[in-house]
Amino acid sequence: MGLADTPPDAEVTVHLTLAAAATLRGPSGAFVALGPRDAALLAWLAIEGPTPRIKLAGLLWPEHELGAARNNLRQRLFKLRKLAGAEVVGGGAMLQLAPHVEHDLGDAEGLLAGVPDDDGGEFSIWLNRQRERRRERVQHALIELIEMAEAAKDYADALVHAKELLALEPLSEDAHRRVIRLHYLNGDRAAALLAFDACERVLKDEVGTSPSAQTLALLGVLEAAASDAAPARACAVPAGVLRPPRMVGRDAELAAVNAAWQDGQVVLVLGEAGMGKSRLLSECADTTTSLAVARPGDAAVPFAAAARLLRAVIAQHPAAASAESRSRLATLLPEYAEHDAVPAANLAKLVQVVQGVLLAAQATGLHTVLLDDLHFADAATFDLLRELLGGNPTALRWGFAQRPAEGSQVTQAFADELEGELRLRRVALGSLDAAAMAALVDSLGVPQLDGARLAPALVRHTGGNPLFALETLKAMLVGGGGRWAGTALAVRDGVSSQLPAPTSVGALIGQRLKQLSPRALALARVAAVAGADFSAALAERILVTPAVELADAWAELEAAQVLRDAAFAHDLVYEATLAGVPAAIARELHARVADDLQAGNAPAERVASHRLEASDPHKSIPALRAAAAAAIAKFQRPLAARWLEQAADLLEQIGDRPGAFEVLAEAVQLRQGFDTGASHDAATQRLLALADTPSQRAEAATHRAVYLHIVGQGSQALPLIEQGLSAARSAHDDVALMRGLNVQGIVLRHVGRNEEAMRSLRDALALARTVSTDRGDELPAVLNNLALAQMEADDQVGAILHFEEAARLQPDAPTRARVLNNLALALEEIGSLERALDARTTAQRLLRGQDGTEFALLNLTVSLVGLGRYLLHFADALEWMAQAQAMAAPMTHWRTHDLHLQRALLYTDLGAWREADDAFAQIDLSKQTALSHLSVLLGRLHYLFARNIDATEALAQAEQLIPGGDRRRMRRLHLAKTRVLPPPQALALAAAELEREAAIGNRAAQIPFATLAARACLRQGDATAALRFAQRATDCMKAAQPASFSPFEVRFTMYEALLANGDARAQEEILSLASDLHEVATTQVPQEFRGTFLQGVALNRAIRAAAGGQRLVRR
């Protein structure tokens, strides 16, 4: 079942059947048939996800004008809701299935049975494509199952899947041929002949053709199979076939690689298995190149692929790694972990060390760095590569190769990011054509093979895949050709040979493996199970055989091109070998490998991977916990969470529920820093289910509440917190009580109940200063949260003191970065904008290179956008905005709503009204808390004032939402009211607020009220009072910079006050102000927004008009 953003254990109220005839079942339990357009709408959203409303309208009603189509869509959504008795589709500008809607399209074969796909419209094209993809997915899966079963000689199972394939594709001659051949291999010649008759009849009656030569050749095998044929005598494979002496058919791709390097780009070679990616990279390599290959299993070990690459560099350039850098590289290269080693503390520092090694290696001749099989690489390696390639500081030529369909999301994101920066060029390897295949065959130097005559059949037989072609030729040469069924080909010297029957390259490799001696096959299987951990020494210990006795078997594997330099010659050979290891034997071998690695102090992640494959939970659990600790030390929190969750699974399996709860709680705490999705949701639900004691129930409730808060469901979190607090009190568990009170304070503050939040947080702080816990971050966490509540209550001095104490005490670097970001917010409130920028810059350095800190980095970056606006650093703000949008794209987090608001405010300050309108439209108020809605309204007021548009209605709405005691937002509301009230009332309000801020010493807050008081005086004609207030604002600006209030407005008001008083300084003031405005426009505003900034913003337009055409001067 597929869920539309539905928590795994959530109650589903609407069920959609979309794979067959479309129906809907709502909360009542009654099934309702769906009309074609309703079915189309829901199927699209189930598969494609969130979609703009306007696109759906045009998609479903292409024959209507857009307005009519949108009206039709609106009516259909209303009727669907009425039909279901619940929300089915939600959203504003972007529509998506409601969270409680379940559908059946996850792995279904069909899609919308009965809905036609032949009218030629965009939706019909999409529907046809989706149906074809589902058929192909099933077809490919069946073929894979057939070939796997056949490779294992389980012909009965293979035959079952072959019949399923034939039922799916009844007119496919290939499917018929598979059934015929498998009946024969299963020993049932009579059934094979009957299957041939059925094939012949279908082809004649339905297709109008006769069986192909391949099928007739298979019939010949059946008719000749009176007795088992003796196996053909194997012969040696010529050396040229083992490794072709030259690369053919890749001149264009090689030229593309060199052209990319000349342009300073990174190269990514893409090609399916066997297309020649590794050969192309090797052709690019010379004595100035360091080449490494990622290995199967690397994905589970942070920096595994990077370590291989760095070892290759250091092996060629030993002097590049100084004693100091080796010590710092201990995180990456365990062999440097001496007792006095000082590993890099985070990824940023590790990057600096690696850059130093690469620069030193470059000085001694390193020119090119290549990493093959990138699809096997781990996430930490991509983090490191991303930093290394950020500015390409070493000016090296970089090249990578991977299978296009097998890279992870991390792999894809890495390539997309570089390509988006125009720093990567993809070079795709396609199939060889007949001419290139002929050249390949002739290059092998085998007298019996005629390339020109073999090539057309080889291309048809192998799809132009070079490795498949070579494996086919090996099979012909080794098997002698006598047993192969296929198309006869005339070759040189009148010798007749035949291509093997069509199959997969994996099956051909499997045939080659069967010809190995028992000892060589055993050695190959140990190598496959051990994977990246294989070595001659390990093989000696696992097989309990002296190395000298393995020498012949090793030589046999190298001669057969199974192994090369203690690794598999090709990952397809590895996969075929591993597939041939019986499951019971594989488990035993994994256990032995794990024992051996553990005895040798191998990386914990390697041991854990083998322990899991060995299916021994008692040994796997400590290995998984050790792997998680190692991942955290390598800055890989998501990986650590996954290891811990696997350990919790095993603990629960063996009946240790307390242990499972403890370990899962650790994983959940890690997920709180980076995950808003189903995994975090499921983990907290499962933690609740595992909680057996009051203390556990308190802890589980707290963790679940944190998740609900993160995804913006604070109102649902509060009752859960109360349950947790009650459980903690009944257990007399002060630690659980302190943690629950802390989370309660966080949630209360976010739902607008700040006074209650401070009470909870003060209680939590009292406990945090007295209780003893096994963590050092409890007290600083409570301090930080209390400071946030104090900031809401406008106690900025108290907040700053608590933030600073929290930052000093916080041992965790990413969390300390969050505290510093909060400190910056308080500093903004008192007008210390440069100190705020310093705090956030420090926070950025702490977060850089830390995996699993996505939320913190998003929060920080969004805050930097606002700070950039206050400092008039608009180019920086736009850059931070782009970064924040990229980070927020895959997340569901409350901060993403603030991102749209900050984008709207930034474009407002730039006078880009269309972009600002679009940003406001992206904010879905239906999913906002009252406080978030208030923030949006306050932002909207800023927009209206910038455009000189009446703001009365928005102001009235904001007044209804303002909570009592929220001084920060009340201040902003009063500033807005001062702009719209009649002059006497505006002056009274501004003066009262001014004195209040003066009483608490907040100069930054005095600046806007003094300025607006001056403007009210000017509107009343009181020039003297206006100048007095304007001067007060100007004096305050000497010690503070206002946030959310333009310094240009302060200075323009001073100019108007001077002018109203006939003061000669007015002319100097306006010219200086206009000059500063011009400098900001030319140095801080990108060219595309310069015109709107100067002409679109009412204040800036007024400044330029007042300055007239006079020359702008600097003071």
Domain boundary among 887, 908, 923: 923
The answer to whether 687 and 695 are in contact (CB under 8 A) is no
Q: 990 and 1102 share a domain?
A: yes
pLDDT for 398 beyond 90: yes
Q: 971 and 881 share a domain?
A: no
Q: Which tokens go with 684?
A: 């907290």
Q: 181 and 276 share a domain?
A: no
Q: Of 428-442, 500-514, 1035-1049, where does mean pLDDT reach its minimum? A: 500-514
Q: Which tokens go with 1039?
A: 């010690």
Tell me whether residue 510 is in a domain. Answer: no
**pLDDT value of residue 231:** 36
Count of residues making up the chain: 1115
Q: 282 and 317 share a domain?
A: yes
Q: What are 897-921's pLDDT values in tens digits?
A: 788 899 999 999 999 999 999 988 8
Q: 917 and 952 share a domain?
A: no
What is the crossing angle of helices 1003-1020 and 983-999, to 10°? 160
The answer to whether 649 and 623 are in contact (CB under 8 A) is no
**pLDDT value of residue 232:** 37
Q: 907 and 961 share a domain?
A: no
Give the separation between CA 872 and CA 1051, rounded to whole angstroms: 15
**pLDDT value of residue 85:** 79
**pLDDT value of residue 621:** 94
| Residue 625 or 327, more confident | 625
Mean pLDDT of 547-567: 82
Mean pLDDT of 1058-1087: 92
Confidence tier at 10 by pLDDT (50, 70, 90) = very low
Domain count, the chain: 6
Helices and strands of the chain, counted as H and E runs: 52, 17
Confidence tier at 792 by pLDDT (50, 70, 90) = confident
Residue whose tokens read 């932002």: 939
Tell me whether residue 538 is in a domain. Answer: no
The answer to whether 49 and 43 are in contact (CB under 8 A) is no
**pLDDT value of residue 736:** 93
Q: Of 155-164, 579-588, 1072-1081, where does mean pLDDT reach its minimum? A: 155-164
pLDDT for 393 beyond 50: no
Confidence tier at 965 by pLDDT (50, 70, 90) = low
The answer to whether 302 and 850 are in contact (CB under 8 A) is no
| Residue 997 or 547, more confident | 997
Q: What are 413-429's pLDDT values in tens digits?
A: 888 888 777 788 999 99
Give the separation between CA 696 and CA 663, rounded to whole angstroms: 12
Confidence tier at 954 by pLDDT (50, 70, 90) = confident
Mean pLDDT of 630-659: 90
pLDDT for 468 beyond 70: yes
pLDDT for 843 beyond 80: yes
pLDDT for 1 beyond 60: no
Q: What is the DSSP string of 861-917?
A: HHHHHHHHHHTT-HHHHHHHHHHHHHHHTT---HHHHHHHHHHHHHHHHTT-HHHHH
The answer to whether 533 and 597 are in contact (CB under 8 A) is yes
**pLDDT value of residue 930:** 74
What percentage of the chain has pLDDT greater than the value 70? 88
Q: 993 and 869 share a domain?
A: no
pTM: 0.53
Tell me whether residue 887 is in a domain. Answer: yes
Confidence tier at 219 by pLDDT (50, 70, 90) = confident
Tell me whether residue 265 is in a domain. Answer: yes
| Residue 470 or 965, more confident | 470
Q: What are 345-372's pLDDT values in tens digits?
A: 567 778 888 888 998 898 888 999 999 9
Instruction: Starting at the earlier edge strand, list the strands of the sheet with 289-293.
Output: 289-293, 368-372, 397-402, 266-270, 424-428
**pLDDT value of residue 642:** 92
pLDDT for 226 beyond 80: no
Q: What is the DSSP string of 1014-1039?
A: HHHHHHHT-HHHHHHHHHHHHHHHTT
Tell me whether residue 642 is in a domain. Answer: no
Q: 911 and 1055 share a domain?
A: no
Confidence tier at 478 by pLDDT (50, 70, 90) = low
The answer to whether 610 and 597 are in contact (CB under 8 A) is yes
The DSSP secondary-structure symbol of 170 reads T
| Residue 356 or 104, more confident | 356
**pLDDT value of residue 1056:** 95
Q: What are 310-356's pLDDT values in tens digits?
A: 999 998 898 888 887 887 787 778 777 664 555 655 677 788 888 88
pLDDT for 159 beyond 60: yes
pLDDT for 31 beyond 60: yes
Confidence tier at 706 by pLDDT (50, 70, 90) = very high
**Amino acid of residue 531:** G
pLDDT for 790 beyond 80: yes
Mean pLDDT of 1022-1028: 95
Domain boundary among 428, 460, 479: 428
pLDDT for 435 beyond 60: yes
The helix (H) or strand (E) run that includes residue 43 is: helix 36-48
The answer to whether 974 and 1044 are in contact (CB under 8 A) is no
Average model confidence (pLDDT) for the chain? 83
Tell me whether residue 1044 is in a domain. Answer: yes
Give the separation between CA 1064 and CA 292, rounded to whole angstroms: 74
Give the separation between CA 800 and CA 786, rounded to whole angstroms: 11
Long-range CB contact pairs, 609-615, < 8 A, 24+: 609/297, 609/300, 609/301, 610/533, 612/646, 613/529, 613/586, 613/587, 614/587, 614/588, 614/590, 615/587
Mean pLDDT of 930-947: 86
The DSSP secondary-structure symbol of 11 reads P
Q: Of 208-217, 302-311, 538-547, where does mean pLDDT reach its minimum? A: 208-217
Mean pLDDT of 470-498: 50
Mean pLDDT of 182-186: 80
pLDDT for 676 beyond 90: no
Tell me whether residue 702 is in a domain. Answer: no
Confidence tier at 498 by pLDDT (50, 70, 90) = low
| Residue 800 or 394, more confident | 800
Q: 105 and 141 share a domain?
A: no
H-helix segments, 731-812: 734-750, 754-768, 778-792, 796-809
Q: What is the CATH number of the domain that holds 1055?
A: 1.25.40
Domain boundary among 390, 408, 428: 428
Q: Of 353-362, 710-719, 844-853, 1101-1110, where does mean pLDDT reach its minimum? A: 844-853
Q: 903 and 984 share a domain?
A: no
Winning range, highest mean pLDDT, from 490-504, 505-519, 945-959: 945-959
Tell me whether residue 407 is in a domain. Answer: yes
Q: 872 and 1014 share a domain?
A: no
Q: Of 53-67, 743-757, 776-790, 874-888, where does mean pLDDT reach its minimum? A: 53-67
The DSSP secondary-structure symbol of 851 reads B
Q: What is the CATH number of the domain that holds 19?
A: 1.10.10.10
The answer to whether 1051 and 1100 are in contact (CB under 8 A) is no
Residue-number span of the structural domain to which 463 is assigned: 434-503
Residue whose tokens read 């593309």: 256
The answer to whether 245 and 441 are in contact (CB under 8 A) is no
Q: 9 and 154 share a domain?
A: no
